Chains A and B, each alone.
Chain A
Amino acid sequence: MALLEVRDLQTHFFMREGVVRAVDGVTFSLEKGKTLGLVGESGCGKSVTALSIMGLIPKPPARIVGGSVRFEGRDLAKLKERELEDIRGKEIAMIFQDPMTSLNPTIKISTQITEVLRRHLDMSKEQARRRAIELLEEVRIPNAAERLNDYPHRFSGGMRQRVMIASALACKPKLLIADEPTTALDVTIQAGILDLLDELRREYEMAMIIITHDMGVVAETADNIAVMYAGQIVEYAPALDLFERPEHPYTEALLAALPQLEAEDAREGRLTAIPGLPPSLIDPPDGCRFAPRCPYAGEDDPCAENPQELREVRTGHLVRSAHPASERARVKVEA
């Protein structure tokens, strides 16, 4: 059994302007100890997916209107807030993009770490304190015992993210959700955080969901990758297969649009831009959501009218498109 099994998740925001279908068809599964990269551009619904799993969506206006989030077999979407509180922070922990806003600036970091330990593990004050020092040492914060009494603003961005990670790991969660954990950091600091997360994941035998817009970050960290577009997973595959043989026209376009660090003729060439913009999530297209920008959807193509399902085009490689690359290749050969 997979550790986490998300099936056709739908989280909608009921606003005055209409219903925003922020998450509208998210399906993936995650095995114990593995890393899933959830990638997509802003507004595609990747963060709302994470918040839905954690039961942290703002209600109202948001509500999970369909689908299931099975964690070790239990559907989190159906749990009461009290029951969720026992799982959140203990079984599933989350770290956010900006540790300055996710750590409370008026509380010493000792309290922020020990409160998790005392809430979930019933530790005494002294036990919790000792464990907090251990945790700070584990995330390589120099002089951990002294730094424990500092406030968050005394730490640099990279160090604050380490504090965040320490507090997330406090209860040895089975799943860590990292939402853009390195986006606010410089690349040299990002490298250190990614190394640390990878090490800790092994040590704690923890599964991880890394949410990011950076294809380089998932290329480094993920075993499997889910690509999101306009509220839906449009492609799901093992990392290597996704980069080497992308199937969805959107994934292909996204990869082609990336400037290449190691391309020698980069200066002369042009990038392949994706024309247009993602659709409104209040009134998305009836059929494939990428159809209006898709180079392979012909005029009056039925895919623009008919909703596309996620389907397996080869083992472990799922795609939500009427025109996946391998089928286009086949059509070409036959023609």
Chain B
Amino acid sequence: MSVSASDPDPARNGALLEVEDLTKHFPIRKGILFDRQVGEVKAVDGVSFSIREGRTLGLVGESGSGKSTTGYCVIQLMKPTSGSVRFQGQELTELDREDLRRMRREMQIVFQDPYSSLDPRMTVGNIVSEPLEVHGIGTRRSRRETVRRLLEVVGFNPNYTNRYPHEFSGGQRQRIGIARALALNPKLIVCDEPVSALDVSIQAQILNLLKDLQRDFGLTYLFISHDLAVVRTMSDDIAVMNQGKLVEVGSAEDVYLRPKDEYTRALFTAVPVPDPRRQRERKAERARLRIDRFAGI
């Protein structure tokens, strides 16, 4: 089966990724001797969205809303319970292992915690070149060159390829994670809370880097975060999740300035902004909206 970039489905309207009615249910099991299923958690429950090439969709929600699970299902790190995920028009949920492996070159992920997502026993150079080796790309020498180039691109000193992750700060580690994600020249990168573990001054460096890479390489991002201010600076479109469901999706402008859904409005109003005068107004608005209705007890 070919996984070429030619468009088998002109109806997709420039969308690189189309997700339709995606669900992911986890069984709840009980019993020690006789294991039985007593229910299920609908972590993702009928989610649909699409992302056009070169754009960013910000996926926001609170903890347990299902946003990360959605991200994992999109790149098939988790098998969805049902629904469809089409990448360049190709249905991913039906691919066999070999085709999926090839397809993965096009889709990468950057994780939240650069402390636990990099193998501490591998050198920086090996971490970044591993995807190339797995996919049998290049020779040992050419890979070494590629790794240096990738590290330069993400603003990491390429002379440090023989060092280990623990020798670097959180921001530097996240650069390593991004270089690794870029190694296979992917089209889509799922960014799963990529700056949540970082301090604001470092966070700004990484967000700028992600913006630059998108511009330079035409990347498409699914940007998952609980931080609404971060999502606003990154996203063209926004999807809001609550309890496994998409409650609102639209252009960033529309969703931030004219939220339609009650939960979206409550969520945005709950965020304190760094401006005491403005925050006084927002606090009053918060009381008016009675946002505590949405705070799970």
Task: Give which listed residue, B200, B229, B257, B292, contacts A191 with CB less than 8 A.
Answer: B292
Chain B residues near A85 (CB, 8 Å)?
none
Residue pair B63, A261 in contact (C-beta under 8 Å):
no
Chain B binding surface, main DSSP class: helix
Task: Decide yes or no whether B47 CB sits under 8 A from chain A.
Answer: no
Interface residues as binary, A190-209 with B (CB distance below 8 Å gives 1, 0 otherwise):
11101100000000000000
Chain B residues near A142 (CB, 8 Å)?
297
Task: Decide yes or no whether A213 CB sits under 8 A from chain B.
Answer: yes
Task: Decide yes or no whether A282 CB sits under 8 A from chain B.
Answer: no
Residue pair B297, A259 in contact (C-beta under 8 Å):
no
Which residues of B, 256-291, contact A by the 8 Å Cβ criterion? Answer: 256-257, 266-268, 270-279, 283, 286-287, 291
Task: Give which listed residue, A159, A261, A277, contacts B228 with CB less than 8 A.
Answer: A261
In the complex where A257-B204, A270-B208 touch, is A188 in contact with B270 (Cβ < 8 A)? yes
Nearest chain B CB to A110 CB, angstrom units: 20
Task: Decide yes or no whether A215 CB sits under 8 A from chain B.
Answer: yes
Chain A residues near B268 (CB, 8 Å)?
261
Task: Decide yes or no whether A31 CB sits under 8 A from chain B.
Answer: no
A21 to B271, CA, bound (A): 34
Residue pair A219, B267 in contact (C-beta under 8 Å):
no
Identify the closest chain B residue to A40 (Cβ).
B199
Interface residues as binary, A252-287 with B (CB distance below 8 Å gives 1, 0 otherwise):
011101111111101101111110010000000000
In the complex where A253-B201, A254-B201, A257-B201 touch, is A188 in contact with B232 (Cβ < 8 A)? no
A25 to B243, CA, bound (A): 47
Size category of the B interface is 35 or more
Residue pair B62, A274 in contact (C-beta under 8 Å):
no
Task: Decide yes or no whether B52 CB sits under 8 A from chain A.
Answer: no
Residue pair A271, B208 in contact (C-beta under 8 Å):
yes
In the complex where A191-B292, A261-B271, A271-B208 touch, is A159 in contact with B297 (Cβ < 8 A)? yes
Nearest chain B CB to A258 CB, angstrom units: 6
Size category of the A interface is 35 or more
Task: Decide yes or no whether A99 CB sits under 8 A from chain B.
Answer: no
Residue pair A258, B278 in contact (C-beta under 8 Å):
no
Residue pair B279, A219 in contact (C-beta under 8 Å):
yes
* Residue with the greatest number of chain A CB neighbours at <10 A, chosen from B229, B230, B272: B272
A221 to B236, CA, bound (A): 32
Task: Give which listed residue, B200, B236, B292, B296, contacts A257 with CB less than 8 A.
Answer: B200
In the complex where A41-B200, A187-B270, A254-B201 touch, is A271 in contact with B294 (Cβ < 8 A)? no
Task: Decide yes or no whether A45 CB sits under 8 A from chain B.
Answer: no
A240 to B276, CA, bound (A): 6
In the complex where A42-B199, A257-B204 touch, is A277 in contact with B273 (Cβ < 8 A)? no
Residue pair B276, A267 in contact (C-beta under 8 Å):
no
Task: Identify the 7 closest CB pairs spanning chains A and B, nearest first.
Answer: A216-B272, A215-B274, A274-B201, A271-B204, A186-B62, A41-B199, A273-B204
Report 9 cross-chain contacts, Cβ distance below 8 Å, ordered by A residue: A41-B200, A42-B199, A158-B296, A158-B297, A191-B270, A220-B272, A220-B279, A258-B274, A261-B232
Other A-B contacts than A142-B297, A214-B272, A259-B230, 12 sampled, CB-CB below 8 A, are: A156-B296, A156-B297, A190-B272, A191-B291, A191-B295, A215-B274, A219-B273, A257-B204, A260-B273, A262-B278, A267-B232, A272-B204
Chain B residues proximal to chain A, CB less than 8 Å: 62-63, 169, 171, 199-205, 207-208, 211, 226-230, 232-236, 252-253, 256-257, 266-268, 270-279, 283, 286-287, 291-292, 294-297
